[in-house]
Structure 1
Amino acid sequence: MSLTNAPRLDTDRLILRGPSPHDAEPMIAFLMDQDRAGGFGAYDNRGDAWRWWALNIGHWHVHGYGYFTIEDRATGAPAGISGIWNPEGWPEPELGWVVFEGFEGKGIAYEASHRARQWAYEDLGFTTLTSNIVPGNARSIALAERLGARYERTYVNPHMGEDLLYRHPGPKELAA
Structure 2
Amino acid sequence: MLNAIPRLETERLILRGPAEQDIEPTIAFLMDPTRSEGFGTEPNRSRAWRWFAMNLGHWALRGYGYFIIEDKASSLPCGLVGIWAPEGWPEPELGYVVFDGFEGRGIAYEAAIRAREWAYTDLGLDSLGSHIVPGNARSIALAERMGARYERTYTNPYMGEDMIYRHPSPAELGLAAAGAKEGRG
TM-score range, shorter chain: over 0.9
Distance apart, 1:46 and its partner CA: 0.7
Which aligned pairs between 1:39-54 and structure 2 lie closer than 5 A?
39-54=38-53
1:34 aligned counterpart, secondary structure: coil
- In structure 2, stretches of 5+ residues that fail to align are 176-185
Corresponding letter in the other structure for 1:154 = T
Deviation string 1:19-63 (CA, Å, 9 cap, x unpaired) is 111111100000000111111111221111111111100000001
CA distance, structure 1, for counterparts of residue 5 and residue 131 of structure 2? 23
1:37 aligned counterpart, secondary structure: coil
Which residue of the partner structure matches residue 155 of structure 1?
154
Corresponding letter in the other structure for 1:16 = L
Which aligned pairs between 1:5-154 and structure 2 lie closer than 5 A?
5-154=4-153
Q: 1:4 to 1:56 in 2, by over 3 A?
A: farther
Q: Which has the higher helix share?
A: 1
Distance apart, 1:159 and its partner CA: 0.3
- Structure 1 runs, 4 residues or longer, greater than 4 Å off: none
- In structure 1, stretches of 5+ residues that fail to align are none
CA distance, structure 1, for counterparts of residue 41 and residue 89 of structure 2? 18
Distance apart, 1:4 and its partner CA: 6.2
Which residue of the partner structure matches residue 182 of structure 2?
none
The two structures have a TM-score, normalised by structure 1, of 0.96
Residue identity over aligned pairs, in percent, reads: 68
Corresponding letter in the other structure for 2:124 = G
CA distance, structure 2, for counterparts of residue 4 and residue 45 of structure 1? 30
CA distance, structure 2, for counterparts of residue 4 and residue 42 of structure 1? 28
CA distance, structure 2, for counterparts of residue 165 and residue 110 of structure 1? 17
Aligned residues: 174
The two structures have a TM-score, normalised by structure 2, of 0.92
Deviation string 1:119-142 (CA, Å, 9 cap, x unpaired) is 011111110100000000000000
RMSD: 1.2
Distance apart, 1:89 and its partner CA: 1.0
Q: 1:32 to 1:47 in 2, by over 3 A?
A: same
1:26 aligned counterpart, secondary structure: helix
Contact in 2 for aligned 1:4/1:18 (Cα 8 Å): no
CA distance, structure 1, for counterparts of residue 37 and residue 114 of structure 2? 25
